[in-house]
Amino acid sequence: MEEAKKNTGIYAADFVKHGMTIGIGTGTTVYWLILELGKRIKQGLNIIAVPTSKETARLANEAGISLLDLNAVDRLSLTIDGADEIDPKGNMIKGGGGALLQEKIVAAASDELIIIADHFKLVPYLGKFPLPVEVIPFGYKQVQKKIIDSGFCEKLWLRKKNDEIFITDHHHYILDCECEKINDPVTLNSTLHLIPGVVETGLFINMANKSVIGLEDGKIEIIKYK
Ligand code: A5P
């Protein structure tokens, strides 16, 4: 699996052209992309990047990638990011690493979104992976009740890390929601957004242009969505 992630991260670096301002996602697959871009920068590639998390900013800095705040940019030509689940239409669940809010804002500011993932991330429908929902800490238990009342998800829990409540880069909490099978991601996304206290959901709908998938045999499959 790690080999497939590495292959796809390295392969995707080819989409990054000299002079581009790009968004860089978060996660264990993007890690390989960052390392590869670092190598190419040493060989003369000139790019600027907007990171999608503090962790990506740290890694990108180490790799020698120049970073910019999203507010200093009009549009990004391209963002490359990972995913936790990808359905056949390219709709995704993201946020396993807790960076969904910044990832969605950066993706929405990009002309193109390329997803890099190993083939285990391809699913016939979304929902086996618990859907992360970023919420304001104040009154989050009210949000929990409303998500359960919506009938879309059977069970949910407050994300913890090392027995402490997980706090996102933007000082929010994450509720991981077990929905099992998401038949209608668009309606679920709108329903969740209508609950006061919800900041963002991990449903990325109709955002990806293509996926670069690392296969078991070392090959790469490219799936285009638009
Ligand atoms: C970060 O919050 C997530 O959205 C990541 O993009 C996703 O979890 C990436 O998964 P990998 O670590 O498996 O690449």
Ligand 1 binding pocket (C-beta < 6 A) is 25-29, 81-84, 94-100, 103
Ligand 1 center to 102 CA (angstroms) = 12
Q: Which atom of ligand 1 is nearest to the CA of 30?
A: 14
Ligand 1 atom nearest to CA at 27: 12
By DSSP bridging, strand 48-51 and strand 85-86 are unpaired
pLDDT tens digits along 18-33: 999 999 999 999 999 9
Domains and CATH numbers, the chain: 2-124+205-216 (3.40.50.1360), 131-202 (3.30.70.260)
Predicted confidence band of residue 186 (pLDDT cuts 50, 70, 90): very high
Return the residue whose CA atom lies nearest to atom 3 of ligand 1: 95
Hey, how many other C-beta atoms are within 10 angstroms of the C-beta on 163?
Answer: 5
Measured CA to CA, the distance from residue 192 to residue 159 in angstroms comes to 17
Please choose from 1, 24, 29 the residue to mutate so as to test ligand 1's pocket, defined by most ligand atoms within 8 A of CB. Answer: 29
In angstroms, the CA 126 to CA 146 distance is: 21
Q: Residues 104-155: pLDDT tens digits?
A: 999 999 999 999 999 999 999 999 999 999 999 999 999 999 999 999 998 9
- Average of pLDDT values for 185-207? 98
- pLDDT over 90 at 88, yes or no: yes
Task: Output the six-digit token pair for 218.
Answer: 């070392």
**Is residue 136 within 8 Å of residue 169, measured between CB atoms?**
no
Active site residues: 103
Whether residue 66 contacts residue 167, with contact meaning beta carbons closer than 8 Å, is answered with no
Indicate the average pLDDT of the chain: 97
The residue whose CB lies within 8 Å of the most ligand 1 atoms, and thus the one to mutate among 56, 91, 94, 104, is 94
Closest CA to 165 of 134, 197, 128, 129: 134
Return the pLDDT at 27.
Answer: 98
In this predicted structure, what is the pLDDT of residue 1? 76
Q: What mean pLDDT do residues 63-91 have?
A: 98
Those residues with Cβ within 8 angstroms of residue 149's Cβ, 6 or more apart along the chain or in another chain: none
For the chain, how far is it from start to end, CA to CA, in angstroms? 27
Mean pLDDT of 30-51: 98
- Are the beta carbons of 70 and 51 closer than 8 angstroms? no
The ligand 1 atom at the shortest distance from the C-alpha of residue 116 is 14
pLDDT in tens, 211-223: 999 999 999 999 9
